[in-house]
Chains A and B, each alone.
Chain A
Amino acid sequence: MIPSATMSRGAWLAVALAATLAPAPAHAYEFWLRAQTIGQAYQLRDYQLVGPDLFLGRRRVTQTLALRITDVGDLALARRLARLPERGLRISWQSYLRIDHDFGDFTSGSVTLSNPALRRDAIDVIPELSDSVAGLDLMYGFLQLDGLADDRLMIQLGRVLADDGWGTTGIDGGIARYQMPESVAPIAIAASAGLRVRASSPLGVTSYELDGTSGAGCQEYVEGTTPGTGAWQLIDRNRMITSSRLTSDYAYCPQRDVRQPTVGVTLATTHTKHFGAEVGYRRTWSDTVGLIGPVDRLDTPDLGLYPNEFGQAPATGVDEERLYARAHATFSVAGIAIEPYGDARYSLLHALVDRADAGVRLRRGDHVLEPALEYFYPTFDGDSIFNAFSIEPTTDLRLGYRYGEHGTWRATADAWLRKYAHEDDTSSFAGGGDAGIQRVIGAAWRGGLDALADTGYGGRRIGGTAQATWRGDQMFWVRGRVIVLAVAEDATSSTLAAHYVTSSASVSTTWRVADSVALHLIAETDHDAIHALQTRAIAVFDLAFAPEP
């Protein structure tokens, strides 16, 4: 049997379920729970050239559980009872668990392969469906030790969330954060190390992968008779696809399953009132799996991923190596609060700045104006050949406006212009904008209108949205939204430019069953030139409901 990431996930799923169901001694620690039960039911089309399209049911149940246990061991109890700020060692636990299962035709159904005509489980033909069919994901779960070293040191151990330069990612390892003494510098140093969470990690999450490329269709290098004459081919391509209900037996990608050590460090200002800055570094690498080994293995079947007849394959490869910096400030001139900000990320692996932005938020009274520039150069995981293909960056100019954060009338407006810089030093553009107003009417009603228009690369859209909310009491409220958009898709990527009007209506209700328990129901129906009528429904049972004011 061929091991695979999805198989490994299934095994871990079983282990985790067993561990969850096992009896455990009760403790009386202070804890906080946030749970959601989400049910979704809708249909998607499987487009058919001949005959009517097929409708694939998507029936999805998701259960989430966020847990915080504070002051494990009651180490801070005495100070808490004395109403003193908590100091000294405190131990806490934070985790977020998600169980997800899609049992509709979309993932659990089958497809017909044309040559030869075979009917196989969809998941075996499309391995990426494995992410949806069944999952037990630990998004994060860590033990936190706070208040060490005279309250300057904090340590998190477990599956932690660490900065990756433009967001966060999961790491199985730890983070240590040290606040330097004020007399030395108002700076905190944070370091993280561990294994980057991958789909193949225990209770792993696909979305923490560096990027989504080079997924299921992994290849192996099969040696030729002399060094350098081998060829790449899909791993076990001639193997008959069999049927497997929950996992794909086609997804065999050893390089995707290998461990990815990662280290990162950040320096950030603290206790600075009107200014904040941070610089950071992250490096992630992985060993090369399936090295071919000595040349005398030429006559044996090759299970290696990379050619290495003369030692050309590296023992390890860098998957990401980035330097990043960000800064923001706040000051006031002539009654206008001014908040400039800037971020930049440099990829050492690609030797270029791949993301940057700069802007300023101007606030006076209830008005906020925000011009900003954003630069984006697509880069990929160090293992991806897409790094050699992607060479044209984009630059966005944005202008945003907000009015009346808490007033009876609220308004928003945004405009953007995107410049594509081509390889031959020419440029093309896309741009657009949207604007909307909201009106609070009495205690029960709230209404809003939004308009959208954009054009340029990709196509054109123009239309608007009307929405209303009724909240008669604190126990039940209803929202409705209608959207109409005229669309003209760009002809550069399809033979015929598609012009159509799409309309969508949705109604959602919230029934507050108890103080922090609510049932949300959402129904949506769409109509356009391709789809005469589509409907979908979502139900969310929320055990930690906090109503918006």
Chain B
Amino acid sequence: MKARFAFLIVLALGAGVLAQPAQLEDPDWSPVVYPLQRLPLIFSHQKHLARGTTCTTCHTTATSSQSAVDNLIPTELQCRGCHPIDRNDPAKQATPTAACGACHPAWTAGSVVQRVYLTPPPLKFAHAQHGQTACETCHTGIRTVDLATTRQLPTMASCLSCHKSGSEERHCADCHLAKLGGLIETQFEHGRLVPGRDGLGDQHGPGFANNHTQEARQAGNTCNACHDRSECVDCHQGVVKPADFHPGNYLALHVIDAKRGKDCSACHRTESFCIACHERSGVGTRGISAFSVDPGQRFHPLGWSSQGPGPNLHAQEARRNLTTCTSCHREEDCLTCHSAQPGAAFHASPHPVGWRNSARCRALDRGNRRMCLRCHVTQDELGCDWSKR
């Protein structure tokens, strides 16, 4: 029944995904890098290029431009090179067209011409450095459109087709604006710059702060282009818990997570972190709750560490999730019983079935015999072919 229910949930979620229309926004043109434009113009690149007009005929400053903030849009002066515009005769009939309304569609006599707004992209770019590259290499499709929009501006992918090293984290600031210290500037008046969806991971959506394992682990990730490493350390080696990571009253609630073996080690070193608090609050080996005469207050149930017949419940816990045990117990607590030495109480072997001569035993013995020496001291006890007689 449960399996069927789970299957239905998966099916519903899958159907929800597939039923959606294809992605509406185009991830190649970030609205932060390519801010919205207002182009109240009539113009056809297609027609001009078909007549043999070259790009630099109109965009005269393109070849010498050193910055992305340079305005390379042709002014009336460039248009006058071919079009006999006469401001005193706004409706002038001529070939090529010279009437104001031929290019400014909403203009009427006496009204103000609507301005063209092009917010400069927050990028570093010098056309002058790309003089040897044909315009259409980057401005693809320009020959087929009338008015050029952001879609005729080069995407980052097209930049990287030549500048292959640009995909490396250390080269992000070659093009993107950087703050003092070299980190990429991500906060702009018109939005926040986040990684694209293509290949570099998530768009930092809801839950990303708590769930970015895969992005951080991917080879060649570019996290540190924008984020200082201290931002990682704030949480992962931090002294203050992020407000929205653990639920409220987590002091009471963490018990279940810890028992289930949730990996806390991304932020906490389990024993040193846990023991200090457990011991100090009396929920450890020092505290009275571990040894209380009142069974209701005992931390472990009766039969927890049965010496001889009994449930010996602690064995299951230790095998399953020893990190929970280490939140209160140090090694010497285990050695009290689990040791081949004369001082140990029961010489109880903690090793699993098949340990003798196992690959794991041989690897540990070969790599670090110090661990073995904590229990096995004499010569005939050492090595993986020894068995307790």
Contacts and interface: CB of A to CB of B under 8 A. Distances in A.
Contacts of B294: 49
B387 interface: no
Nearest to B274: A212
B353 A350 contact: no
A34 interface: yes
Contact of A278 (B207, B219, B297, B317): B219
A234 interface: yes
Interface string B312-356: 010011111111001000111011001101110000001111010
Contacts of A408: none
Contacts of B331: 213-214, 217, 219, 384-386
B249 A307 contact: no
B363 A349 contact: yes
Given A402-B205, A549-B187, 7 more contacts: A68-B228, A365-B21, A365-B24, A376-B261, A385-B331, A405-B203, A405-B204
A410 B204 CA distance: 13
A369 B13 contact: yes
Interface string A351-393: 1100000010111111111000000101010111111111110
Contacts of B359: 351
B374 A365 contact: no
A530 interface: yes
A114 to B, nearest CB: 9
Interface string B224-238: 000011101110110
Interface stretch (B92-100, B135-143, B251-259): B251-259
A177 B246 CA distance: 37
Interface stretch (A12-20, A125-133, A238-246, A294-302): A125-133
A226 B355 CA distance: 30
B370 interface: yes
A382 B371 contact: yes
A8 interface: no
B352 A364 contact: no
B205 A363 contact: no
B16 interface: yes
Interface residues of B, number: 151
10 contacts: A139-B233, A179-B165, A306-B373, A337-B198, A341-B214, A352-B360, A369-B14, A382-B364, A389-B334, A494-B301
Interface string A428-460: 001000000010000000000000101011110
A350 B214 contact: no
Contact of A70 (B182, B191, B271): B182
B180 to A, nearest CB: 5
B62 interface: no
A476 interface: no
A486 to B, nearest CB: 11
A56 B280 CA distance: 9
Contact of A313 (B269, B289, B299, B373): B373
A367 B20 contact: yes
A213 B328 CA distance: 11
Given A84-B129, A209-B269, A364 B17 contact: yes
Contact of B288 (A48, A228, A352, A385): A48
B132 interface: no
A225 interface: no
Interface string B70-94: 0000000000000000000000000
A528 interface: yes
A83 B67 contact: yes
B53 interface: no
A524 interface: yes
Contact of B272 (A209, A481, A494): A209
Interface residues of A, number: 189
Contacts of B370: 255, 288, 306, 313-314, 317, 382-383
B300 A485 contact: no
Given A494-B301, A530-B252, A179 B168 contact: yes
B388 interface: no
B368 A349 contact: yes
Contacts of A538: 240
Interface in B18-32: 18, 20-24
Contact of A328 (B187, B214, B282): B214
Contacts of B364: 349-351, 382, 387-388
B15 to A, nearest CB: 11
B253 A461 contact: yes
Interface stretch (B43-51, B106-114, B144-152, B375-383): B375-383
B367 interface: yes
A367 B16 contact: yes
Interface in A480-510: 481, 483, 485, 487, 489-496, 502-506, 508
A475 to B, nearest CB: 16
B280 A129 contact: yes
Contacts of B20: 364-367
A495 B265 contact: no
A248 to B, nearest CB: 11
A155 B317 CA distance: 46
Nearest to A210: B269
Interface in A161-211: 161, 167-168, 179, 182, 186, 199, 205-209, 211
